[in-house]
Structures are given as C-alpha cells and as structure tokens.
Amino acid sequence: MATSLLLANVCVGTLLAVAVMQAVAFLVDTWKKRSLMRRLENQGKPMPPFNLLFGHLLEAKAAADELPPGAHSVYILNRMATKYAPRGAYYVDLTPMAWPMLVVTDPYLATQVVEHPLVGAYKPEELYAWFHPITNGQSLFTQNGAAWKHGRDYFLPFFSNQNLDASIPFVVGQMTIFREKLREKAANQGRTKSRSSDMFVLEPLVLSMMNDVIGKLVLNADLGTQHGSNPLAETMLRQLQLKFAINNPLDNIGQLNPLKKFNMWNNSRILDSHIKTQIDTRLQAYRSEKTQDEQNDFKSLLDVALETHMGRGSTDSLQNNVSAGFTKTLCSQMRMFFFAGYDSTASTMAYCCYTVWKYPEVLRKIRAEHDQIFGVNIDSATNTISENPAILNSLPYTTAVIKETMRLFPAANGIRHGHRDLVLRDKEGNEFPTEGCSVQMLHYATQRNPKVWVRPREFLPERFLVEPEHELYPAKGAWRPFEYGPRLCTGQQLVMKEVKAFLVLMAREFDIKECYDEIDGGRKLDLSHVDFEKAHLVEAGAAHPRADFPCRVSFSRYHSNTT
C-alpha cells in the first residue's frame, strides 16, 4: 500500500514538474517574442497598437469581429494592413497562435524575399507543423536544401509538358462526367414547385471531380468518387476534415483535445495503409511493364517516382523492390500532392463559375473565343481537346479570365522565415528587418493593392492582354498565385490546363447564377471588410468560396454568332 502511494506521488510529482517546465518554457518563449516586437515598435516600425501582455491579439480580435461569420483569416491581416501598412509591410505578434510576422503587401518587397539566397528557397519549420497532419512526414512542400532538391528530381518528369498533355484526355473525361451532373441539374430546373429545391452547392461536385482527376494523376488510381464512394478518397478527405475542423485561427483549443489527436492519428494510419496498397500495385505494374515494354499514355506521379527510384542503381533497384523507408517517404509525398493538386484547383474552378457568370461581357467574350477556336458545335470541343491538348494554348482571353479570378481570389499565401541577413527595403529606403519573424506574403492584399493595381477591385481580364505601356499592365511580381523564385509552384502548368479545359466545357452550355441572397435569408451581412464579395473566402485547406458556392444552373440556349 505504501509502495503504491509512493509511486502515485512520484507520478503526480513528475507530471507536475513536466507541466511547470512546459509552462516556464512557454512563458520564456512568449516573452522573447513580445520583447522583439517591443524593440521593433520602439524603432518606429509599422504595426498595430502593441500590448506587452497580449501582443496584437486584441487588435486581431477586433478585426475579426468586423468580418462576416467564418470569413478567412486573410481578411484579418488585410484589415490591419489597410490601417497600419502605408509602406507595404507591417509587423504583427499573434503569439501563441502564430509566430511573430512581418506581413508583406507590396510586390517589390515580396520579390526581395523569394529572391534572397538564404531565405527564398527555404520553407519555415512552422509550415511543417501545419502540414504534418496532412502528410504525416516531410514532403516536397516542406523539405529544404539537398532533401528538397533530391525529392524534386524524383517528380520533375511528371511535370513535363508532354506528360501533362498526355493526361488531358483523362482529365477531360472526368469533366464530361461532371458536365452530365450539371445537365441533370439544368434539366430539373423549374420542374419542382419549390424554388429552393432547384438550388444546390456547386463546389462539392467540383471537388469530387478533382478527386478523381488527382487520384489518377498522382496515384494512377481510378477512384470513381463522382459515381460512388472510394475508401482511399474517403480516408484522405476525412484526414483533411480533421485537420481543418477548427476554422477560427484565434481558437486553437481543439489542438489540445486528445480524442481529436487520436482520431487524426488513427485515420492517418489507415490512409497510409491505402496508399501503400496502391504503391504495391504500381510496383507490380512497373515490373510487368519493364518486362513487357508497355507504357501508359501518361505517367502518374507515383509511377514516375517508382521508375526514377528503381533506375538509380540503389539496393531497392537491385532487389526489384522498395524499402520500408522509401515507402514511408513516398506515402507522405503522395498525400501532399493529392491535397495540393485537388483542393486549390477546385477552388479556382468554383470561383471562375462565380466571376465568369457575374459579368455578362466577360461571358460573352469567353464564349466568342471558344466559338472561334473550337467551332460552333459545343459537344465537339471534348474530342478536340483530347486529340490536341495543345489547343488550350490558343485561348488568351480564357487564360486572362482565369488569371484575373486568381488575382481576386488567391487560394493561398506565401511564407518564409526571416533571417538577420534579410532586411527588406522599400523604394523610399525604409527598412524592415526579418530576423525572428516569419515573413507572410499576403497575396490577397498584394493583388488588390491600390498602389500597385489600377482599379484593383474591378474584374478586368484585359490586364493580362494589354501591352506593357498600358496602365492596366500588372507591375512586376504583383500577380503571384503560384509564387516566384526557386520554390514556385511546380504544378502551375497543369492547373492552367485543367481550368481552361473546364471553362471550355462549361461556358457555352450553361448559365450559372449564384444564390447567396437566398441562403442568407434576408440577413444583412456587413461585407464592407471583405471587399463587398458575396462569395468571400473561407478557410477549408485552400481558400474557398463561402458556403460551397450555392447556385442554380440552367441550359444557356447560347447561339453562336460564328458562321
């Protein structure tokens, strides 16, 4: 009895000691960060009113309270930028919710970050912590130095233009399935007495389509989620839902929930099991194709990685197998590519449905361009693209529409970690030290910055068609959805091909009308701090349109003027 009591006391004492040590470490770390911000404030650096106890949390809370419910945290930073960043950058300390930040809203300063030899190619450690629930390990998005270059070399052959074009017939095939679903919605338009029954949310259908696209392109797996359920896809989506269950960045209490952590760990384990099964399947196919000299029309990322790995003369290649270590690394990479490949692209497609049909003149011009390139037979465009994917390069106005959509509704921001050798300088010579801060390149604010863009809130695809001397022509580095520098998005060509094909198949056949006023039910939302956008950004991995983009779809009855 005495021994049990002694052991209990020791355990309790140990737990208390650990708790005290963690509390002390937390307080010391917080004090260091607060002291840094105090020094910067004393130097006259731009920032919101600073509180030594709360940092800028109170100011962030005040900015959040001005926003519509569920609005993306980018609007919080943008709101503070309008008040405190007259020179294109400001400091903010949201410890313990985030690392102290230098928020950049000017492309001239952002370019200095991504082109810096020490900072530009280095992704911060806090990004790995953010991605870990998604990837369960290091991935190309978070690796640095030799590990990043080594990983990049594994996957680069997939992103060749020849391989991407070879994948387009499959991509278009999945889009025709999506189009059939819209045709069903359009055919049912007006058949029911209840007008509300005609309304639906578009983005889940787009996400399902992109699930199938990315499942094939990344894993060479036929997921078929547009027709039914798939265990691998369901587990991946569940992992993302667990990761993004908490939308408010100022409320991280859920991260302390042990049940949530267990659920995430267990689901991650199941997800790896599904991916390992697919790795085994593709490894067997590699052995067979190597023997039979057979090739698919295009190579998936997984097939490219296996082919590269097995061709490097490693122990695995000699044994015609892959090690447990390589398999684990490959699982993390596949999870990252799956998330990055479907989520932000689906968001861009949904926002194109918002912007194109919001502006009648834009819709008229994009339809006219599709008539000119593909002819007046709308259905024939599918075969034309599949037989000649390069034809997608002949759509300058469609490309400009996509770019303008991505300008106004960027799916993500850029982030790097500061360094004592990186001091940003604006054109007037004002300096912004970065040591001790993460550098947040706020694309939303940069791409709507009135000092950089003419008529920044207007939807003007012509910005990307005019000559450099024109006032609308974008300033250098001002358009940055794919970022710049050595860590720019390797998938940008694929994204543009996918979204262009999507618009070609949708723009002429359908009319799409957003239904935000209906779902708001007469509520008067204050949209003044989200640039009066009904479909403002919300957090769900990448930034997505509010409420999954509620809409109605009908057949356009469009008649070409082309003869």
489 annotated ligand-binding residue: yes
Q: Are 329 and 137 in contact (CB under 8 A)?
A: yes
Asked if omega into 69 is within 30° of 0 (cis), the reply is no
Check if the beta carbon of residue 512 is closer than 8 Å to that of residue 163: no
Helix, strand and coil in the chain, % to nearest 5: 55, 10, 35
CA distance linking residue 94 with residue 55, whole number of Å: 6
Q: How far apart are CA 436 and CA 25, in angstroms?
A: 17
Core vs surface per residue 63-88: b (16+ CB within 10 A) or e: bbeebbeebbbbbbbbbbbeebbebb
User: Long-range contacts for 378-385 (Cβ within 8 Å, ≥24 apart)?
Assistant: 378/508, 378/509, 378/558, 381/504, 381/505, 382/172, 382/176, 382/505, 385/168, 385/169, 385/172, 385/501, 385/504
In the numeric block, the tokens 């294109």 are attached to 88
CB 503 within 8 A of CB 353: no
Tell me the three state secondary structure of residue 441. Answer: strand
For residues 437 and 413, give the distance between their C-alpha atoms in angstroms, rounded to a whole number: 16
Query: Which parts are annotated binding residues?
Result: 489
Query: Which parts are annotated binding residues for heme?
Result: 489
